[in-house]
Structure 1
Amino acid sequence: MPYSRRENALAAGTIGQVHRATLANGDRVVIKVQRPTAREEIEQDLALLEVFAEKVRERPALQKVIDMEAVFKQLSMSLHRELDFTQEASNIERMRGVLQGYDHLDVPGLHRELSTSRLLVMEEIQGIPIMKAPEGPARTQAARQLLESYYKQIIVDGFFHADPHPGNLMWWKDRVYFLDFGMVGNLETELREHLMLLLMSFWQEDTEFLTDVTLMLSGAVDRSDLDVSHYQAEIGELMSKYRTSGLAEMQVGPILQEMSEIALRHGVPLPASLTLIGKALAQVQLATVQLDPTLDPFEVAGKFLTRSLLQGMRSKLNPKTLLYQSQKLKVRALRAIETFERLIGARPGQKLVVNFQASSLEDTVRRAGRRLALGLIAAASMFATGFTAVSTTVADWVPTTFGTLAALLTFGLIIDLVRRH
């Protein structure tokens, strides 16, 4: 092996040990070596947990408090991923891409050619704990970037470091380095969208909408037996409690955890993944408080979410995307009309008397669908005109084209409205 170990283990756990070493070319590295018995011990622990999960499944009252089967599946999948160091190497490379654009955040360099499923060789981060970072602009900027990067990891990329405790964050070369990527979180698109709405509603102090978002997260929107007013009142108390607290107490992680407890009391438990998110956010905010205790997490979240929404809208407001969306809208409108025609018996195959009686209604439906499509596309074109006109990165012909299209569609809609048939 082209390296030499320099000292005893830096850290040790159930799965492996971490050592400092020096490569033959003089580079200082850290190597993570898996214990020979790690897989066998993990499998034994998981077998015991599976038996416990089966016992819990037989007790409906306990099953309502915690979905042990889901917890077991999540834990089993996570531990099996941790046993494969090639997966951790991929996590490091993926996080490097997620953190692009943050000049005060980074991950260790990776020696892929020396790494295997049971051996991981990484650049040695020769830094200090983040709480000992020297005072100055770099430290303040790193605090903001660290917190904002977590909103990006969770809401935009759906991939986040799930264990950012102080031992996994180091300060070196004016940067915060993330260490140990054995535990990461992956989130589906729908959950990320709901989380964005949740943070925005809390930022805007909109208790009613925040209640709606938590019900969407739990899939309990149509629950007729839920005392919504009481539930909303508790959510409102939680919001008031934190929005009047000092900056150091306004932690998004504990807020999510308390929100989960409220939902559970009302029989609408939030997704289990929200617990992992809350834990990660709680840990990372403690780190940001150490770096900059004056940082307002909701101010950072609000600015990031606003910027993300604008970037998302800008990416969708290009001619190719708009043309595609307009054609998709047209097809959906036609399908809706055809479905309605079949319901009223106006499509071929039905009796002639039915078609005759429904002919006037058929014409009405067709006209309404046509006008709806024209109106929606015209509105989108007008919005695109204004948005691209103020952009400094869009060619001059783009807003002109959208403006012309909007005018023609609006004119066509007016003509269609004044026609008798």
Structure 2
Amino acid sequence: MPLRPETARQVDALVADAQSAGHVPSLIIGVVRDGALAHLAAAGTQPLPDADLQYRIGSITKTMTAVLVMQERDAGRLALDDPLRRYLPEAAAAGPVTLRQLLGHAGGLQREPDGPWWERSEGVDLAALLAGFSVTKVAHPPHRVWHYSNLAYGLLGGALERVTGTPWAQLTQERILDPLGLHRTTYAATEPFARGYVLHPWHDTLREEPRTDSRAMAPAGQIWSTVTDLARWAAFLADPDPAVLNPTTVDEMCAPVILSDLDAWRGGYGLGIQLTRDGDRVHVGHGGSMPGYVATLAVHRPSRTGVVGFANSYGFRTGGIGPLGHQILTHVLDVEPVPTRPWQPAEAPPPADLAPLTGRWWWMGTSLDVSWDRATGELVGILRGDRVSRYAPEGPDRWRGVSGVENGEVLAVLRDEAGRPAALDVATFVFTRDPDSEP
């Protein structure tokens, strides 16, 4: 669904202002809604940006590396709480640091690998990355603080290669890019692509930056993509394709592993996913930068709305592409609420064995209203009028919470001597039809 004309004009103005004030050669932002690119805003002429023009996505690559790790976890070939040294014995000096901690930047490893600045230098292979790995690479004890680490993602890529016997680039191509149709997302730049620049601080001239192959550090920031393809990746994070990764696993990735902002609790990190709180909303995604390029990906999952974008200058004179992306996402969500789905009457009442479970139940004067969702086959329980939980059938007279405050808890149907439902036992809280009943 395209944006309303006035919203589109406002987004265009924000992008034009950011390009002008930031002295950005080329800037492009895409708004994603319900799995599709709903609006494209672009500014700058070096080069003229369009939806098929490649830019480097930088650390947004980490979200793909994390999905590969989670695929292996779901397949039972690794566990998130396994120590890294199980897969990379050469990194034994990292001690007990786990894959989960590395994914969430909670492992305490130093930010960069040793040697020349890896983002602007030709990369080394995994053996060279691991050579000389020592306790000096550990900046903090595991899970003591949030400490961003590109090195951690180079090592995660190495662990994936050891587990699968397949290079990281091939895994990414076969398991993510090909299944999702991201045909303009590539390991190396493929024409047409935007050249990346550093802007001279005093006379606004441009210096083109090298486009290096980061090799063993590729899982931390190598990939190139377009707005069209990155919009598809944003749509995947909002509404995952089960053929690539189980949606419940993506939910798990978007839950906090650690807070990155202990003062205001506005930021955190999940399993490869940056979490940014904006008021009552949480945006998931990632930022990215490589010499000459910056990128943003921010998604509000409940509304399936996101923003993706690129610029081909290493930094803005004012602000940055990350704050710009979050500002645009918040604005779109504020002025264009998700359309309300029309109510449709049920075609038939619930099955005879479920109908007696519906209605109002009581515990200590507290109401629980139970209904049946024909579309999912789940029971829906609303506690005190606003706390919603959903329950999926697990066996005779047994339901398991799958969302809400009772997620994971058991709802058991208790029957009287005649076999009629007499009470609902929700995690030991027994609800009856009598509002005056006692537990």
TM-score with structure 2 length normalisation? 0.29
Larger radius of gyration: 1
Q: TM-score, normalised by structure 1?
A: 0.29
Q: Relative to total residues, which structure has the larger strand share, 1 or 2?
A: 2
The structure carrying a bigger helix percent of its residues is 1
